[in-house]
Amino acid sequence: MTLTRDNITIEGLLDTASARFQTNIIITAAGTVALTSASTFYQMFTGSTSGQILQLPDARTITSGWTYNLWNSSSVIVNVQDAVGNAIVTLYPLDATIVVLQVAGTQAGTWVYDRTGTAGISAMTICFWGKQSKNFYLSGGVSSTTTSDVVPLRFPRAAKIIGYGCDNSLLNGSVYSNYILYFREVSNLGVNLATIPCGEGRYNGGWNPAGYCTYAAGQGLSLYMGAGSDNANVTISALIYFVWA
């Protein structure tokens, strides 16, 4: 006979040095991994093959509050779906997401999620405002002749510059000027990681999901504004878009 015990009451707080949950490690492939009620709490992805789908269990076989912790340590996107193929969430590389069954009773169920990683999901921004000059650092200049008033941003994680938007006003009697944006790293100002010419006009911008350049964790963004062919002074504002690489 199997012995069971219900309704245990514990006085005080539980105290443990650590906890271990059963884990399933999946090497990404162009296919679908279907979870069931017996699947482990942690589902972790590694590898580099695209096309991976993770399908959540039939919600008629589990109860509300059923939870999975998903980690994407691979270099590709993993698409998470419910049991009938509806999209729930996209896991980008380095993303971690908790999914919870909110409403059971149907095959698909209703799932909610809380994303704890941010890689690739949406671009973040850095805004700079320049002074009335030419050939100057918007941020991160440390040379003896040309410096910046802005402390450079240092990235806590590897980051990729994917877009920019600039607005300029010419100060020598004309209306607009051309200029060049140089992306550099504060510890090596002699190397241009990206060179972006910006032509005449009130607004110049661009978007490159593959990335104009990348910065490693701990590196600082140095943005230099070089005069264009008209060699004019400008006041420039720049909006830089980046994602975690």
**Segments forming the whole domain that contains residue 185:** 124-244
Reported as half-sphere exposure (CB side, CA atoms, 13 A), residue 67 has a value of 8
Could you give the CA distance from residue 85 to residue 54 in angstroms, rounded to a whole number?
10
Give domain status of residue 1, yes or no. no
Could you give the CA distance from residue 164 to residue 216 in angstroms, rounded to a whole number?
19
Q: Which of 93, 115, 137 is the last residue of a domain?
A: 115
Q: 222-238 b/e with 16+ CB inside 10 Å = b?
A: bbbbbbbeeebbbebeb
Number of domains in the chain: 2
Could you give the CA distance from residue 95 to residue 118 in angstroms, rounded to a whole number?
6
Could you give the CA distance from residue 42 to residue 99 in angstroms, rounded to a whole number?
11
61-95 pLDDT, tens digit each: 999 999 999 999 888 889 999 999 999 998 877 78
The tokens for 125 are: 């921004």
2-29 pLDDT, tens digit each: 666 666 666 777 777 888 889 999 999 9
* % of the chain surpassing 90 pLDDT: 38
**Residue 144: per-residue pLDDT:** 41
Could you give the CA distance from residue 12 to residue 9 in angstroms, rounded to a whole number?
10
Q: Does residue 81 sit in the same domain as residue 111? A: yes
Cα 218–Cα 220–Cα 225 angle in degrees, nearest 5: 165
pLDDT band at 145 (very low <50, low <70, confident <90, very high): very low
Number of neighbours of residue 164 by Cβ within 10 angstroms? 24
Q: Does residue 164 sit in the same domain as residue 221? A: yes
**Residue 229: per-residue pLDDT:** 82
- Residue 59 scores a pLDDT above 90: yes
Reported as half-sphere exposure (CB side, CA atoms, 13 A), residue 54 has a value of 28
pTM above 0.75, yes or no: no
Give domain status of residue 212, yes or no. yes
Q: Which of 115, 143, 169 is the last residue of a domain?
A: 115
Give domain status of residue 2, yes or no. no
Three-class secondary structure of residue 174 per DSSP: coil
181-230 pLDDT, tens digit each: 999 998 888 899 999 988 766 677 888 878 899 999 889 999 988 888 88
Give domain status of residue 144, yes or no. yes
